[in-house]
Structure 1
């Protein structure tokens, strides 16, 4: 499943917060560059690793440990016996200065009124698209997406 999140950067900081949160769940967390021209070699993730890299655009493959890493080629994005699976996280600058959209929910959050969707425009500097690839919909997938959403908010408390 692909989950696309539009958030304000800097992207590397969002990715660092995500991986830092995920490290609490997966102490042996391993990452590899998901770029087509990379060697795809996994290594333990070290905090600050993303911030020290080129931060305009990136692709990461994320595995819980060496066992999940080894099984990835065989099983793909599938949940294992712990109901967890590998993740991929990509980020890149939004390619436009504004984005027209129709929100599914009332952007004002009004209660008690019937909402009729209407066009709005999102405008912002430093917007990035984050794509989180997960196994099929599950509690694990929802946790990963919730972690990304919290990580995109620098004021959100860490778990």
Structure 2
């Protein structure tokens, strides 16, 4: 697994001999497996995966579903099945400007901008809902929300 939590890609993929793009991101297929080493899976900002209209961009909007795709692909491989291809689509780009302001630029599925944006406190509320939704989705398990104990590995 190759992972990065920012917009600077670490040289790990290239140093490991994996196929990379011009920015140093590991090139993956839709599974998302390494294009050069299909037993290696990658997610988030450190990979370039196929997306509608091109390739994925560095963002949490890419990282969260891609992490789920990797988990599903690894589980499928462990069960002897082929991983399902994932097709990434976008709905917008957002920027938080502190606790009281934000901008959400809506986009087409290929990540090109449309003539619609949300700003101010309304954009902050949407961004907060997305963050809270991702938090709860990460803890959803078997139809119930479970409390995660730090350091427990569960």
Output the TM-score relative to the length of structure 1. 0.23
Richer in helix (by share) = 2
Q: Relative contact order: is structure 1 or structure 2 higher (C-alpha 8 Å, sep ≥ 6)?
A: 1
Richer in strand (by share) = 1
